[in-house]
Amino acid sequence: MKYILISGGVVSGLGKGITSSSIGVLLKAAGVQVTSIKIDPYLNTDAGTMSPYEHGEVFVLDDGGEADLDLGNYERFMNVNLSKDHNITTGKVYSKVIEKERRGDYLGKTVQVVPHVTDELQMWIERVAQLPVTDSKEKPEVCLIELGGTVGDIESMVFLEALRQFRFRVGAGNFCHVHVSLVPVVHAVGQQKTKPTQHGIMTLRSTGHSPDIICCRATKPLTREITRKIALSCMVPASHVVSIHDCKNIYHVPLILRKQRVPELVLEI
């Protein structure tokens, strides 16, 4: 099983869900069996009671689970059927840990974020990644894990720690980290600016993570100079700096990634 983590930096709303879905559909087109997990750092158990004005539309899964709309994108892009367990929230994880503590499963130990919450997260990911999500009931070969929010948020820290441990646990060859960042244009000078991405990667590294691929969201394709600058400052090969510019239709995003060999990159790492 190969795990692909998709995280985001600088600001929220960059399109991590579409990036994850696009990588998934490309891998599926290459004959790879894929599944997907969405991690939402909020304390709600699910998105069912959240205002759509605040969080967007709720997507209802086949088993009745009420989840983030990203799971709807996964299902549409990859033609899979996900369950409520494919959506992990802080509320769900802490409820599970507290249930175990009340039953005495921890045998009197002091229950802590590390290792009890982080271990629960890792076990949840490993268990759900094995679940068949297609009519053929074939076991998935690749699991995409989207971490909601922005790296640096207090809410995300426990998940980043759990995923840092998870990378070590499954082995570097079975784990690929794709980080989605922003390359804004300062309109007064008309230049693409790399500093937000540089600082975003610094924040990510402070959590023990180092990205394998950096997907850069921008209004227009990155110039070669900007690509080289990001590669040099963020310590990734220039071929691993992927430009995802604005397009009229989200279904064009897989084509943009395919042109830059993203499926091959995630499988080679």
Query: Mean pLDDT across the stretch 236-246?
Result: 96
Residue 251, amino acid: Y
- Interhelix angle 157-170/118-129, nearest 10 degrees: 60
Model pLDDT, residue 79: 95
Model pLDDT, residue 190: 85
pLDDT in tens, 8-40: 999 988 999 999 999 999 999 999 999 999 999
Burial of 163 (0-12, 13-18, 19+ CB in 10 A): buried
Local structure of 56: helix, strand or coil: coil
Q: How far apart are the first and last CA of the chain?
A: 13
Model pLDDT, residue 53: 86
3-state secondary structure 15-46: CHHHHHHHHHHHHHHCCCCEEEEEEECCCCCC
Say if residue 210's pLDDT is above 90. Answer: yes
Model pLDDT, residue 75: 96
Neighbours of 154 (CB within 10 A): 8
Closest CA to 22 of 88, 78, 104: 78
pLDDT in tens, 38-61: 999 999 999 999 988 887 889 999
Per-residue confidence band for 237, with pLDDT thresholds at 50, 70 and 90: very high
> Could you tell me the maximum CA-CA distance found in the chain, to the nearest angstrom?
62
d(CA 33, CA 35): 7
Local structure of 16: helix, strand or coil: helix
Closest CA to 263 of 20, 12, 23, 3: 23
How many whole angstroms from its chain centre is CA 131?
18
Report the alpha-carbon angle 15-88-16, nearest 5: 10
Closest CA to 160 of 169, 148, 170: 148
Per-residue confidence band for 186, with pLDDT thresholds at 50, 70 and 90: confident
Residues 6 or more apart from 113 whose CB is under 8 A from it? Answer: 158, 161
